[in-house]
Amino acid sequence: MKLKMFTVLTLAGTVALSGCSSAKPGASSNSATPNATAQSAPTKLVWFSDASFWNPPSPWNTDPNSVEGTITQKTGLTFDFNIPAQDGGTKLSLMLATSEKLPDIVTVTDGTLVKKLIDSGKVWNMEEFLKKYDPSSTLLANFPHDMKQALIARDGGWFAFPSHMNSTDAREIYPASSEFYSDAAKFRNNNAVIFNEQIMKQAGISVSDIKTEDDLLAAFKKVKELKVNGAPVIPLLVHGKNYQVATLPTLQDHFGAMEVDKAGNYRDKIFAPETKHVLDFMFKAAQEGYFDPGQMTLDDNGISAAASTGRVFCFIGGTPATKFSEGINGLTWVSPGPILSNQNTKPVAGRNLKTTTGWMQTLISKTAANPERIAKWLDYMTSNEGLLLNYYGFEGKGYNLNNGLVAQTELGVQEAKDYSKTGVFAFWPFHNTAWHDHATEAPKNRVGPDALMAMQVGTAAAKKSTIYDTSALAMPSDFIPAGSKMANDQVQIDQYKLAQISKIILAKDANAMNQFYNDMISKLKQLGLSDIDAKKNEQFHKQEKDFGITVVGVNS
């Protein structure tokens, strides 16, 4: 799972664009609103996805008072979902390699699969599809130009419909309704250092007391002797078995580690001196017993269970795993912003400032039944009306309109949590961040995935950090060819690094820790990481030139 995947439900995600520029959520701008089923029975399509963590309502509910039933009424379609619990990408690749019929609708998160689908010739070019089957489609006129160009540059044409659109052109079509949402677009990150306010109050610690790593270690020491409901406080909770892709990157940002050095050359972040300092910090925390090594095996359910006990003082990592935003057991959380290194380095926050191509990618099979209805379905799902239904359900039940902006009800919040049953917030492939931030009023409540507490936690670090453009640092999905020596080297490197970092953090003493670290750097070079970095550096500089940007290290 790319960590960003698990975060989708906490982002103000959203669907593709539709209708009129800056259309208000209460106004319909949709060409597919007439009931499609008045003419004939619904067409049943198969919708495949490699996203095993996505659980849309199944079986499809045709009750016209349901989200799915309304979609059927408007488009004349129903869906059977084919979402393998594991190895979805492998199963789709086998379909492509054989004469097996491709599912009608395919939604994937793996860029390699997008390329395979396009290369197979079995999926439609989106523009050709819409011009043939719905020439009046609003998508032909109002799809964000910058995103279309980014998709064409990536795929050689506009084949995929992307989720979570949030580009410059998208936000011009749908300007944010408030500073709350414009800040989210600029600064929000799910990775953070957060603190339990109830334990802070018990310990007499304020947010202003925790600015540096030394402050943090001192706070850990202070709360270690406290108890909550008779059980000892857990000073630090790391991000379980994913701590190396969540806890460590959080601290790397705060301590100023980057994938490019001050000379402007690419280097794996593991070689950055600031990363060594992150490992030093984690080693100290382990030595003092501020976190139990057993945490390193927890899954997200274990993390949320631990956080909800009220015993966790500090969590570092991908905050959605804790379910902190739900306010379970009345708990509230806060972030002080970046934890500053005692090496006087500046905190950083990487942002891909180039137009991205979204997250989930939806493609249409050339063998799909009733393509005219599919074209109308795309139009409906990306219209104001369709987006309101997808995100919030039904007016007067899941949401109300205040001065033309959506105010979600408590029932609506619960329906979104139960999306697999209700269909509310269920159709992630059509989530459109720009539309959401335009159509929704700023929340007034603290609790909720997009409420005040979640936003404070998600934006505090970046607001006080140096933001740099990561677009030229992102390598193409097929940059290292599968099965090549370099690809095999990368697998060995990743496996070795995973084991060695844990050894470093849990070393018996400082001498052993430093020895393990030095061994790791030598071994990584021996395994070919420097050669991989050299190749990436060439591509990085090429992309800098192509994108018209220059990136240099802020610290080392």
pLDDT at 15: 31
Give φ, ψ of 350 to 5 degrees.
-80, 135
**Can 43-174+357-439 and 186-354+447-468 be said to share one CATH topology?**
yes
Q: What gap in Å lies between CA 512 and CA 472, rounded to an integer?
A: 37
User: Average pLDDT, whole number, for the chain?
Assistant: 92
What is the predicted pLDDT for the residue at 408? 93
248-293 confidence digits (pLDDT tens): 999 999 999 999 999 999 999 999 999 999 999 999 999 999 999 9
In this model, does residue 142 exceed pLDDT 60?
yes
d(CA 386, CA 138): 13
Long-range CB pairs of 482-486, under 8 A, 24+ apart, other chains included: 482/112, 486/528, 486/531, 486/532, 486/535
Tell me the pLDDT band of 486, cut-offs 50, 70 and 90: very high
User: Which pLDDT score is estimated for 100?
Assistant: 84
If DSSP states are collapsed to H, E and C, what string results for 354-388? CCCCCCCEEEEECCCCCHHHHHHHHHHHCCHHHHH
- List the structure tokens of 131: 């011009």
Answer yes or no: is pLDDT of 473 > 60.
yes
Specify whether the CB–CB gap between 373 and 43 falls below 8 A.
yes
Residue 130 has pLDDT above 80, yes or no: yes
Q: What is the mean pLDDT of residues 190-199?
A: 98
What burial letters (b/e) apply to 517-529, b meaning 16+ CB within 10 Å?
Answer: beebeeebeebbb
419 within 8 A of 425, measured Cβ to Cβ: yes
What phi and psi, each to the nearest 5 degrees, are found at residue 523? -65, -40
Q: Bigger pLDDT: 37 or 502?
A: 502
Whether the per-residue pLDDT at 529 is higher than 50: the answer is: yes
Per-residue pLDDT at 205:
98
Radius of gyration of the chain (CA): 24
Q: Is 231 helix (H, G, I), strand (E, B) or coil?
A: strand
Position 24 pLDDT exceeds 60: no
User: In the sheet that 43-49 helps form, which strands lie side by side, from edge to edge?
Assistant: 77-82, 43-49, 105-108, 361-364, 161-162
- The per-residue pLDDT for range 282-331, each reduced to its tens digit, is 999 999 999 999 999 999 999 999 999 999 999 999 999 999 999 999 99
Distance (Å, whole) CA 109 – CA 51: 7
The whole-number pLDDT of residue 478 equals 80
Pick the range with the lowest mean pLDDT from 50-59, 312-321, 441-450, 482-491.
Answer: 441-450
φ, ψ for residue 106, nearest 5 deg: -130, 125
Tokens of 41: 């029975």
Are 448 and 10 contacting, i.e. CB atoms less than 8 angstroms apart? no
The DSSP H or E segment spanning 408 is strand 405-408
pLDDT of residue 448: 83
Q: Are 94 and 100 in contact (CB under 8 A)?
A: yes
Q: In terms of DSSP H, where are the helices of 440-509?
A: 452-463, 485-505
Question: 36 near 74, Cβ under 8 Å?
Answer: yes
Helix (H) or strand (E) holding 222: helix 213-223
Nearest of 350, 379, 370 to residue 135 by alpha carbon: 379
Omega prior to 34 cis, within 30 of 0: no
**pLDDT of 26:** 47
DSSP annotation of 297 reads: G
What phi and psi values does residue 469 have, to the nearest 5 degrees?
A: -85, 120
> Contact, 377 vs 429, CB < 8 A?
no
pLDDT at 29 over 50: no
CATH of 43-174+357-439, one of 3.40.190.10, 3.30.70.2740, 3.30.70.380, 3.40.109.10: 3.40.190.10
> In whole angstroms, what is the distance from residue 451 CA to residue 448 CA?
5
Contacts of 198 (CB under 8 A, 6+ apart): 228, 310, 331, 332
Residue 28 has pLDDT above 50, yes or no: no
Q: Which residues contact 499 (CB under 8 A, 6 or more apart)?
A: none
Q: Tell me, what's the pLDDT at 16?
A: 33
Q: How many helices (H) and strands (E) does the chain have?
A: 23, 15
Contact predicate 150/356, CB 8 Å: yes
Checking if the pLDDT of 10 tops 50, the result is no
Neighbours of 227 (CB within 10 A): 10
* Pairing mode, strands 234-238 and 231-232: unpaired
Is the pLDDT reported for residue 194 higher than 70? yes
Q: What angle do CA 460, 54, 306 make, to 5 degrees?
A: 50
Structure tokens at 152: 């064409």
Overall pTM > 0.75: yes
Q: Residue 333: which residues within 8 A CB-CB, separation 6 or more?
A: 194, 195, 196, 197, 315, 322, 324, 453, 457
Preceding amide of 59 cis, omega within 30: yes
Helix or strand (DSSP H, E) at 145? helix 145-155
The per-residue pLDDT for 19 is 34
Residue written as tokens 């402050």? 215
CA atoms within 13 Å, Cβ hemisphere of 12: 29
**Contact indicator for 466, 457 with CB cutoff of 8 Å:** no
Domain assignments of the chain as residue spans, ordered by start: 43-174+357-439, 186-354+447-468, 485-547
**pLDDT at residue 18, as a whole number:** 33
> What is the model's pLDDT at position 39?
58
CATH number of 186-354+447-468: 3.40.190.10
Which helix (H) or strand (E) segment holds residue 303: the answer is helix 300-308
The answer on pLDDT for 21 being more than 80 is: no
